Amino acid sequence: MDTLGNVLTDLRYGGISSPTLFLLAAAAIVVITIDYFWKQYACRKIDEEIADNREVKAEAATNDEQKLSRHWTDEDLFKQPPPNEECPICMLTHPLDNLQQQYQECCGKVICKGCVCADEAANSRTICSFCRSPASTSREDLLKRTKKRAEGDDAVAMRNLGCYYYDGRYGLKQNYNKALKLFLRAGELGYAASYFNIAQAYLNGEGVERDMKKAKHYYELAAMGGDAKARHNLGFFEEIEGNTSIAMKHYMIAAAAGYDNSLTNIRKGYMNGQATKDDFEKALRTHKEAKDEMKSDQRDAAADFLRRLDYPSPEYNHHQNRGP
């Protein structure tokens, strides 16, 4: 304190002693050094982000060259897709609405909201409905568990983590590049919904340049993997281009999976003479069968309860209801 007082006194009266000069010089060196290293750190972080962007763009370009050359036939595209997965508790087919299902980051299971809400009512929702592990206590805990499962090649966790990066949620900085890499890897591991996310990115120009050809490419991958929303979007694009017969083929497959909008478009097609009576009757029958396989009183009660709460899905819903 005395030293500081001496410095101030010297400055006040115009005379600067040698000790004062030394202290001022030392302080200046410290400030310059801190400023230098801070700028070096900032530049390094910027360089890392630029390098990451270049790496992902280069990888995307390579993937485009290798994969965007369509290596499936129309027969492959219109083949009956795999059925939707079942809830591991009630064993009913999962509903198409992602708000009606929940990913458990503790065990990697996707459970319908009917079972989740029923378990919550019985056990105050402090444990997982499937593995009985303690539920996540915070968003940080949820993110930590999701990352751990994604590192173990859990495709659903990988896709969810991609959603967090895409939207900049749970404290993560928004990073489209990381998100798209995670979506692509999850799709390669067999999770078709991730290809839907990539298609949406190209459709909307989010994180990538808007490219309808690439969007359609990834919609096709998602549709062949059983994603009904991607299948419906393909039908929508074909209908816009005037290919109504191809559009109806897509709509028929999506309606048979229980997708309501596709059934609506088939009904319109029938009224406009673009779909036959037999096609419309078949669509009605297969749509009802799919819906019946997803329906239960427990799920209806959960849907009504969550609707009254205006419940959002923090983990599992990402861009799935966007697009055409």
Give the model confidence (pLDDT) of 69-95 as tens digits.
Answer: 668 888 999 999 998 899 999 999 999
The structural domains of the chain, with segments of one domain joined by +, span 1-67, 68-309
**Bridge partners, 111 (sequence order):** 102
pLDDT tens-digit map of 87-142: 999 999 999 988 899 999 999 999 999 999 998 888 766 789 999 999 888 989 99
Cα separation of the two ends of the chain: 71
Lowest-confidence segment of 5-9, 123-127, 271-275 by average pLDDT? 5-9
Helices (H) and strands (E) in the chain, counts: 14, 2
- Yes or no: say if 318 and 167 are a contact pair by the CB < 8 Å rule: yes
The predicted pLDDT at position 36 comes to 58
Read off φ and ψ for residue 184, nearest 5 degrees: -65, -45
Confidence of residue 55 (pLDDT cuts 50, 70, 90): very low
- pLDDT for the residue numbered 155: 97
- Which CATH code is given to the segment(s) 68-309? 1.25.40.10
Report the residue count for the chain. Answer: 324
Percent with pLDDT over 70 in the chain: 73
* Mean pLDDT of all residues belonging to the chain: 83
